């Protein structure tokens, strides 16, 4: 609708200019004829006196019409400019609102996905194989716990691995030992381990921002963890930690790449997920991930859009999902016009 208004304004402006130009052309010809008529009347002397008056009036009429033409051009031009500006503002507002909704949808999809991860870690921490390998550690229980974790991984393909660590932070079992040789690895200095050991009940969990994990061959992961408790009781003392590692890159790329944009918009638009520090944790162009800090200007708003340097930026703060409050992440869509994008590339 907004684009139709702009097209109509441009067409009215074009037709008006064309017709006013024709009027000006006719009036110039009429004025020239009036001048020639006065000259001929003067040559005719007394016999041409009456015709001279008519010729003079023709010139006056031509001058009046030319003045009206100029006024018409000015009035229509001014109103056309206002119409174009209104249409442009409407289109900007419409696009900004739409991009804001799309940014909200993107981060909401991630929230819903990660909410399930918070449920998974609390559930699996009560699995008997996971509890037994810490309460009564021996080779058979390690094998069984690893087999149990492997079974979970076959059903939940969004994870790279699941680790069981004892109270000292030593990994005693994992689901993919052939892919990731981490048995015996010390994770006691990891934030996710320390925070999980400090959880109060089995209902609590901790989650770390996206980071690369050397034990997982440098893959980017979202790490969820909770304490494994004695007897699998909700209020039992911690006897270790379960850490689960969400395979971040393919899931995030599916979200930012799946935002509903037209082909023209995709050429000039960048879809991103930012963490609470505005660090880029996913980007539709694959650039700056885990390295770039995006200059987001929220001005205290949880969602909205703004224009800077030829680009429109729309954003939405994570809304959370059910009991999962989110991590303060943002969905962000940056749209640059063809000229602005070309200038940036240059």
The angle subtended at Cα 335 by Cα 329 and Cα 338, nearest 5°, is: 155
Provide the 3-class DSSP secondary structure of residue 177: coil
Dump pLDDT digits (tens) for 276-290.
999 999 999 999 999
Query: Is CATH 3.30.450.20 what the domain over 252-345 is classified as, yes or no?
Result: yes
The model carries a pTM of: 0.74
**Nearest alpha-carbon partner for 260 in 132, 101, 102:** 102
Cα gap 275→209, rounded to integer Å: 7
Residues lower than pLDDT 70 in the chain = 1-13, 19, 24, 26-27, 30-34, 36-38, 40-42, 44-62, 64, 66, 69, 73, 75-90, 337-346
**Nearest alpha-carbon partner for 143 in 122, 164, 124:** 164
**Can you read off the two tokens belonging to residue 220?**
């980017």
- Are the folds of 2-91 and 252-345 the same? no
pLDDT of residue 341: 45
Say how many C-beta atoms besides its own lie within 10 A of residue 345's C-beta. Answer: 7
Cα gap 330→346, rounded to integer Å: 28
Burial 239-259 (b: 16+ CB within 10 A, else e): bbbbbbbbbbbebbeebbeeb
Backbone φ and ψ for 282, nearest 5 degrees, come out as -160, 145
Cβ atoms of residues 320 and 329 within 8 Å = no
Dump pLDDT digits (tens) for 214-226.
999 999 999 999 9
Q: Treating both helix axes as pointing N-terminal to C-terminal, what angle do 139-155 and 128-135 enclose, rounded to 10 degrees?
A: 150
Provide the 3-class DSSP secondary structure of residue 311: strand
Q: How far from chain centre, in Å, is Cα 239?
A: 42
Dump pLDDT digits (tens) for 152-193.
999 999 999 999 999 999 999 999 999 999 999 999 999 999
The dotted CATH code for 2-91 is: 1.10.287.950
CATH class of 125-250: alpha beta
Cα gap 287→290, rounded to integer Å: 9
Q: Residue for token digits 């089995």?
A: 202
Can you give the residue ranges of every domain in the chain? Answer: 2-91, 125-250, 252-345
């Amino acid at each position: 609708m907004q684009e139709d208004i702009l097209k109509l304004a441009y067409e009215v402006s074009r037709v008006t200019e064309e017709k006013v130009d024709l009027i000006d052309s006719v009036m110039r010809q009429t004025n020239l004829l009036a001048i020639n008529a006065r000259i001929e009347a003067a040559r005719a002397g007394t016999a041409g006196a009456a015709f001279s008056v008519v010729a003079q009036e023709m010139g006056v009429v031509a001058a009046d019409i030319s003045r009206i033409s100029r006024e018409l051009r000015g009035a229509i031009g001014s109103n056309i400019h206002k119409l174009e500006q209104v249409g442009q503002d409407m289109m900007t507002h419409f696009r900004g609102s739409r991009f804001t909704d799309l940014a909200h949808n993107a981060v909401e999809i991630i929230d819903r996905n990660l909410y399930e991860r918070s449920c998974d870690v609390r559930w699996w921490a009560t699995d008997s194989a996971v509890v037994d390998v810490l309460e009564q550690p021996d080779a058979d229980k390690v094998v069984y716990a690893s087999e149990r974790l492997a079974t979970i991984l076959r059903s939940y393909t969004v994870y790279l691995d699941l680790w069981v660590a004892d109270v000292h932070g030593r990994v005693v079992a994992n689901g993919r030992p052939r892919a990731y040789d981490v048995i015996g690895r010390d994770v006691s200095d990891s934030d996710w381990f320390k925070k999980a050991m400090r959880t109060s009940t089995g209902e609590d969990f901790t989650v770390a921002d996206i980071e690369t994990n050397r034990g997982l061959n440098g893959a980017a992961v979202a790490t969820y963890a909770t304490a494994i408790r004695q007897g699998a009781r909700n209020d039992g003392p911690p006897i270790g930690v379960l850490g689960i590692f969400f395979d971040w890159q393919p899931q995030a790329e599916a979200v930012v790449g799946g935002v509903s944009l037209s082909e023209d918009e995709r050429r000039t638009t960048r879809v991103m997920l930012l963490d609470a520090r505005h660090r880029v944790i996913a980007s539709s162009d694959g650039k700056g991930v885990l390295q770039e800090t995006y200059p987001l200007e929220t001005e205290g708003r949880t969602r909205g859009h703004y224009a800077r340097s030829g680009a429109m930026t729309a954003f939405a703060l994570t809304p959370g999902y059910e009991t999962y409050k989110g991590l303060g992440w943002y969905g962000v869509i940056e749209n640059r016009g063809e000229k602005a994008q070309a200038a940036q590339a240059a």
